[in-house]
Amino acid sequence: MYRLVQLLAALGYVSFGLLGLVLSVRIVLDLLGAVAAVLSVLLFPVTLAVAPWIPLAREGEVTAVLVVYGGIALSGVLHAVGNTMRRGARS
């Protein structure tokens, strides 16, 4: 059962990460143009960390922050639960 929970966590990391990257690149594209959007894909860790905060600061839009940081938090909780279940299964 713990493997299923850890699989869900891994799928969460990947899916929220990709969705967050798409949202972040779209934010950069809207603000800075196509060249900056292409560069933001190459520098994706910075883009993923910084870009979601821009709509929050400018317009109060929380969607990108919730997808990126909420997805990481949710996947992290699932991963921790899976690890706890695995340790309990060994006892």
Q: What's the rounded Cα separation, in Å, for the pair 80 and 16?
A: 17
Q: How far apart, in Å, are the Cα atoms of 3 and each of 18, 82, 85?
A: 22, 7, 9
Structure tokens at 32: 């800075």
DSSP 8-state assignment for residue 76: H
pLDDT tens for each residue of 1-23: 999 999 999 999 999 999 999 99
Hey, is 32 helix, strand or coil?
Answer: helix
In the chain, the amino acid numbered 14 is V
Give yes or no for residue 91 having a pLDDT over 70: no
Q: What's the rounded Cα separation, in Å, for the pair 87 and 83?
A: 6
Reported pTM: 0.86
Residue 88 binned pLDDT confidence (cut-offs 50, 70, 90): confident
Q: What's the rounded Cα separation, in Å, for the pair 17 and 15?
A: 5
pLDDT tens for each residue of 61-71: 999 999 999 99
**1 contact partners, CB below 8 Å, separation of at least 6:** 85, 89
In the chain, the amino acid numbered 64 is A
